[in-house]
Amino acid sequence: MNQEIVTKIKIARLIAARKTGLISIEENAELNRFLEEEPEYRNVFFEIMGRENTAGNLDVTAEDAWLDLLSRYPVEEKKQVFRSRRVILKRIARVAAVFIIGMLPFLYLYKSYFTGIERIDMALIQPGGSKATLTLPDGREIALEEGYQGEIEEIALLEESGKVLNYTPGIGDKSEYHTLTTPRGGEYIVSLSDGSKVYLNAETQLVYPVVFDSLKREIHLSGEAYFEVSPESDRPFYVVAKGVRIRVYGTSFNVNTHRDDCIHTVLVSGSIGIRGDKEDEETVIRPGQLVSHTATGELIEIKETDVYPHIAWRKGEYVFERETLESIMNSLALWYDVNVYFLDPEIKDHRFTGHVKKYENIDGILNAMSSIIGINFKVEGKTIILMK
C-alpha cells in the first residue's frame, strides 16, 4: 500500500501537469503508460481532465491551516509535552463528535449508486445467532438455543436466556469430556469449571473436561474462539489448536483456525507462550502481536497488529483492515451460513477496509461492496454468486 500511495501521488501530479498543459513529453508517455497498465484509474483521470471548476470547495487555505496547527499543537516544543495536549484535543474532538448526530441515516456509502442491482430474495439468508450443540460422553446431543434456560445433567446451567453455558466449579467427573460445537451461523459462550470464559464463533468446536484435573487445564479447539482465562499460577491452562499448543498465564486472546488453513493467535492482554508441533521451544507473545502457524505447527510469522479487527466479532461487528474480498466473504459465509461462488476469480483480490454489523442482513454489506467497486452479485437460495 505504501508504495502504491507514493506512485498515485506522482500520477496525480502528472495529471495536474497534463491538465495545465505543462507536461513534458516523457511525463506524458509515463502517464499514458500508467493509464494503459491500470485502466481502473481512467475514470478519475477523465473526470479531472473534464472538470470545469478546479478551484475546489476548500475554504481553508494551507497557510491558515498551518497557523491553526501551530496553535493547537506545540510543534516546536519537546515531545513529552505533546502527549498531554493531544489527549485534550482528542477529548475535545470526542465531545464535538457527540454533538454531531443525525447525519446519513442509513448506509454510509461512498459513491453509492445503487443502479442495476436487482431486488433479490434474501429470505433464506439470515444472520447467525446463539446456537450450539453439546455432546455428552455417552454420545447424546443437546441442542442449546437462545431463549432456553435450565440445568444440564446437574453439572451445567444455561444462563442469560440460553446464550451462556455455565459449568459449576467442582461438580462432575474429571474423566468426562464435553464437546461444544457451533454450526455455521452460530455462536456461543461457555464458562468452564475454573471460571475461564470461551466465546465460540461460527463453525467452531471446543473439547474440554467437565472438571479440570489438579495439575493442568487443557482444552482442544478447532475454529475460532476468544478466551478469557482465569489466572492460576500452579495450574497452567493449555489450548491445543491443530498443530499448535498455547500455554496461557492468565489472559485474553483470540485463536482462529478458519483462515487459509492456518492458526492465527492474537494476544489482547496478559501473556501466552505458543509452541507449534514443529518447534522445539515455546515463543512468548506480547499483547498486540499476531502469531501465525501452519496446520502442521510450523511457525510462519509473528507481527504487530491492530487487535480490534480480530476480536470485533465478539462485539457484534466484523472489522476488516485491508482484507481481500475472498477472505471477507469467507468470514461472512460462516456467519450467514451461505456458500460463496466467484464467477470472476480476479475480483477475489480486491481489498476492503471498514466495518459491518453482524446482526444485520447481509444485503446491506453486499450492496455496499457492489456499489464501491462495481461488483455484481446474485443470490440463489443459500448461494451468493459474485461477478464483475
Q: What residues from 312 to 331 belong to the interface with other proteins (CB under 8 A)? A: 319-320, 322
- Between strands 283-285 and 272-276, the pairing is antiparallel
Residue 62: CB minimum distance to other proteins, A = 4
Q: Does 348 bind other proteins (CB under 8 A)?
A: no
Alpha helices in 202-345 (DSSP H): 308-311, 325-336
Residue 228: CB minimum distance to other proteins, A = 22
Q: Which is nearer to other proteins, 47 or 138 (CB)?
A: 47
Which range of residues in 81-89, 173-181, 197-205, 246-254 is near other proteins by CB under 8 A? 81-89
Q: Does 40 bind other proteins (CB under 8 A)?
A: yes
Instruction: Please choose, from the candidates 349, 375, 380, the residue with its C-alpha nearest in 3D space to the C-alpha of residue 117.
Output: 375
Q: Does 80 bind other proteins (CB under 8 A)?
A: no
Each residue 211-230 as x (binds other proteins by CB under 8 A) or -, in order, gives --------------------
Q: Does 359 bind other proteins (CB under 8 A)?
A: no
Contacts of 272 (CB under 8 A, 6+ apart): 246, 247, 248, 249, 251, 253, 265, 284, 285
Each residue 100-129 as x (binds other proteins by CB under 8 A) or -, in order, gives xxxxxxxxx-xx------------------
Distance CA 111, CA 369 (A): 11
Among 25, 36, 62, 115, binds other proteins (CB under 8 A): 62
Q: Does 78 bind other proteins (CB under 8 A)?
A: no
Question: Can you name the residues that pair with 46 across neighbouring β-strands?
Answer: none
Torsion (CA) 51, 55, 61, 65 in degrees, nearest 10: -20
Instruction: Please choose, from the candidates 215, 210, 150, the residue with its C-alpha nearest in 3D space to the C-alpha of residue 174.
Output: 210
Q: What's at 122, amino acid-wise? A: M
Residues between 1 and 20 that touch other proteins (CB under 8 A): 1-6, 8-9, 11-17, 19-20
Residue 140: CB minimum distance to other proteins, A = 41
Rg, the chain, Cα only: 26
* HSE toward the beta carbon, residue 12, CA cutoff 13 A: 6
Burial of 47 (0-12, 13-18, 19+ CB in 10 A): exposed
Among 47, 154, 234, 346, binds other proteins (CB under 8 A): 47
Q: Which is nearer to other proteins, 132 or 325 (CB)?
A: 325
Q: Does 54 bind other proteins (CB under 8 A)?
A: yes
Instruction: Please choose, from the candidates 335, 382, 384, 386, the residue with its C-alpha nearest in 3D space to the C-alpha of residue 125.
Output: 382
Q: Does 81 bind other proteins (CB under 8 A)?
A: no
Among 39, 68, 151, 278, binds other proteins (CB under 8 A): 68
Q: Does 302 bind other proteins (CB under 8 A)?
A: no
